[in-house]
Amino acid sequence: MQYASTALVFFTIYTFFAAIRSRQAQERADLQGRLQKVLDWEEAAGAREAELSRPLSERLLAPVLQTVSDLASRLLPAKILASLEKKVQQTGRQGGLSPRDYLGLKLLSAIVIPLLVYLLLGRSSNLQTFALAAYAAVIAWRLPDMQLERIIRQRHALLEKSFPDALDLLTVSVEAGLGFDGAVAKVAEKSEGPVAEEFKRLLQEMRMGKLRKDALRDFSLRCGVEDIMIFTSTVIQAEQLGLNISSTLKTQAEQMRRKRRQRAEEKAMKVPVKMLIPMVIFIFPTIFIVLLGPAIIQIIENFAG
């Protein structure tokens, strides 16, 4: 009887603690479930806030642009997209727009702008209105290309201006004992602007296993600058012929500095010619008025008297 009482007490205590543990586990599970719901809700709220924080124009125009880009890529010839790919590559991917996006912009602007011109002209159906709308469509089709060409010209100017300094640093690094890859890494580290970006991409491609000559060719195609094309072709040729890369780079650096100085002298020679136009239009008439004005007034008064 004593053993039965002891077993009953032990079973009662065990059942009590098991019930408490089960209740705690259930509460813990409920707490984790509630926490997961809160976290999911916070994640959804964060995504919603991030979406709402984007500009209204981007939220409205991005889906439209995506739809028009898909339509344009299916309807228009592939060579137009290939031409845009080359131009976008030379811009350094500024603006975050892909070639498909620019193709969609071309088609969208060629549709919307002529429609606005037609509406502004009173929706008349005469030949002049249709001619103006057609002219507006041609100009609108060219607008994204003009924007890309403007960005390319600005980037080419920066590349031509800063590339000789980067080439000097590359030459000094190679002459100091670094390999070509290490010298490119040093240039990418110490330089700024588009030259540094292109050298970083060149270094990344070589580290990923691309052949040096292929990486250099892609580097020159991305930049689209004559000086860089000459540099890459010379380095590739020197590597294939087994020439000394240090002397090759030194010669290239001297030529690049000389060409930059010649371009600066050429711009300086154009300044007097460019100054002549505003002088003839704005300055000379004012000088003539100041110098000849009193004499003309006296002559008029003498003839009148």
**Mean pLDDT of all residues in the chain?**
78
User: Does 6 have pLDDT greater than 50?
Assistant: no
3-state SS of the chain is CHHHHHHHHHHHHHHHHHHHHHHHHHHHHHHHHHHHHHHHHHHHHHHHHHHHHCCHHHHHHHHHHHHHHHHHHHHCCHHHHHHHHHHHHHCCCHHHCCHHHHHHHHHHHHHHHHHHHHHHCCCCCCHHHHHHHHHHHHHHHHHHHHHHHHHHHHHHHHHHHHHHHHHHHHHHHHHCCCCHHHHHHHHHHHCCCHHHHHHHHHHHHHHCCCCHHHHHHHHHHHHCCHHHHHHHHHHHHHHHHCCCHHHHHHHHHHHHHHHHHHHHHHHHHHHHHHHHHHHHHHHHHHHHHHHHHHHHHHHHHHHHC
pLDDT of 95 reads 67
The CATH number fitting domain 157-259, selected from 2.60.40, 1.20.81, 3.40.30, 3.30.70: 1.20.81
**Residue 86's Cα: distance from chain center in Å?**
13
Q: How confident is the model at residue 17 (pLDDT cuts 50, 70, 90)?
A: very low
- Residue 290 has a pLDDT of 84
Lowest mean per-residue pLDDT among 21-30, 69-78, 129-138:
21-30
Token pair of 108 as six digits: 């969208």
pTM of the model: 0.69
pLDDT value at residue 46: 54
pLDDT digits (tens, 9 = 90+) for 181-240: 888 999 988 888 888 888 999 989 888 888 888 999 999 888 888 889 989 998 888 888
Tens of pLDDT along 110-140?
A: 888 888 888 887 777 778 888 888 888 889 8
Question: Is 256:167 a contact under the CB 8 Å cutoff?
Answer: yes
Give the model's pLDDT for residue 51: 53
pLDDT of residue 100: 85
